[in-house]
Amino acid sequence: MITTLFWVPRGTAAAAASVPLETASEPDDAASHSSEDCSDGERTSDAAEVGLEQVLTLPDDFWETSDPNLHKHKLDWEQQDIEDERFQQEDWVLFAGRLYEDDSCGFEVCVVERPDVECCAKPLSWEAIDTNIYVHHDGILAAPPLSSAYTDYDGRCLAAVGTFAPTVELWDLVQMNAVEPLMILDTVAAAQTSPSLGHNAAVKQRTRNAQHRLTRDLQRKRKRPSGDRSQGGSTAASASGVLCLGFHPRERWMLAAGSATGHIHFWDIRDGACVVTLPDLHRDKPQALAWHPLQHSLLLTAGFDRRACLVDLRAHSLHSAASGEIQLTRDPEQVLWRSENQCLLSDEGGSISAFDIRRIGKTETALLWSFQACRDRPALMTLAPTVPDMLVVGSTDGHLRVYDLSMLEHCGGVSATEASKAPQWTPLAQVNAHAGALFAVESCPDEVFGFGVACGGSKGILTVVDVAESAPQVLQHFRGRASRSAAEVGARLACIDSLEESGSLDVDK
């Protein structure tokens, strides 16, 4: 199964590629060396008869270096292999953390290929553009992955992976055949040694004792980590996993990590140091976190204590660091920022709610609106970066649902007690992702593929769904907002218009 994924911005992997190009001097040197080592008897003419002993004493590369045609083809093949290993500027790259059927775990770096979009302007029938996904390279993780985050710090292409073990592994995504991560961040050691906000001696001692017990139990099970989220984290592995990660939007070296022990750690990946820890922000496991897009000292978190907390890291104590909190009616699933003042929160019951952070801690309710996206199932959210207000929701039923947030705002604010009775709105479209029960969904950040959504789930298949192809009414609805390339938008709209004129397409379905 696939448990976590993210897109790498287009062109980033190619710019950070570390596969060196081989020079042609090495084969030339080998050719001159082999010719010097050959005796006169070995340099026979084409007409001369070569004995078996002479053939056996020839260097391994004798025929390749003697025949210019063979030598040229060998260089061409080697160059082609090198080019195949290199990321191209036009590649869309996906990272996927997965758990295999034999209980081993690892990650895959995949390339998404799509044909020229101008070709879809010619046919008069709606035909989906085939998307090809292949694994560029993969790696092995020490424990099942729970969360992941991407950073382009220092011009590199790096992935942080939070696992069931109490560690975060940092990998270079363009480095092939890597047997170990660049860095391992240990949350157990961080909880004991890193500075903390509002952490008194009694709390620190209780945390240290709990961490010692977790470490002792984990060492017995580390060769084969186990644990099920549905069991409420009863095992040592699930009790100390890293459930959520997020890199700072401006300071790309800073990583926020939410541990199942209830701690929020802030890491400096330049030297692997934990610079600060929030030990008592949540009384239970933190499930999700998200940095504010503009006010870079603010962090939004949500945990299984059914609280969402807005934290200001400029504070000098935990009491003043928690700028405000939101009481929730269900366990949270995910948090996202829609705008500077508005955040979205989904829960395990399938509800999605919008909150105004300016109202947190005041008498008026911070809840703006709420609706039921999927009944009694966790709601996985993703906002399309290049299609304003397009919200895609995935769930364990294997379907993607597309909503327009601007249409949902008119439902008005409701109280927190009424949020559990939120209305169920009909989506613009519902698309089968063909990935089984969905555990991770992510919209493509590139405007050329703005309607593309990557999906991973129980089948262990990484799929990319273009919701505009699978449901033409989605493109028809957002046609005035999508910041896409003119060629692709024009091609698809021309195809839709031709089908509307012929009466073979009903966009209201």
pLDDT in tens, 138-155: 999 999 999 999 999 988
- Look at residue 139 and tell me if it is in a domain: yes
- Look at residue 348 and tell me if it is in a domain: no
What's this model's pTM, rounded to 2 decimal places? 0.75
- Look at residue 166 and tell me if it is in a domain: yes
pLDDT of residue 320: 43
Residue of 328, 321, 324 whose CA lies nearest to 305: 328
- Look at residue 91 and tell me if it is in a domain: yes
Total structural domains within the chain: 1
| Of the listed ranges 51-60, 121-130, 350-359, 453-462, the one predicted with least confidence | 121-130
- Look at residue 298 and tell me if it is in a domain: yes
**Exposed/middle/buried for 201, CB within 10 Å: 0-12, 13-18, 19+?**
exposed
In sign, the C-alpha dihedral spanning 120, 121, 122, 125 is: positive
Residue type, 110: C
- Look at residue 33 and tell me if it is in a domain: no
Report the CATH number that the domain containing residue 178 is assigned in CATH.
2.130.10
Mean pLDDT confidence for 235-252: 78
| Of the listed ranges 119-128, 135-144, 176-185, 437-446, the one predicted with least confidence | 119-128
Mean pLDDT confidence for 419-444: 85
Mean pLDDT confidence for 329-342: 94
Concatenated DSSP letters of 162-190: EESSSEEEEEETT-TT--S-SEEEEHHHH
Q: What is the dihedral of CA 9, 14, 16, 17, to 10 degrees?
A: 140
- Boundaries of domain holding 494: 2-16+85-329+435-502
Mean pLDDT confidence for 8-19: 75
Query: Confidence band (pLDDT; 50, 70, 90) for 239?
Result: low
- Look at residue 429 and tell me if it is in a domain: no
- Look at residue 290 and tell me if it is in a domain: yes
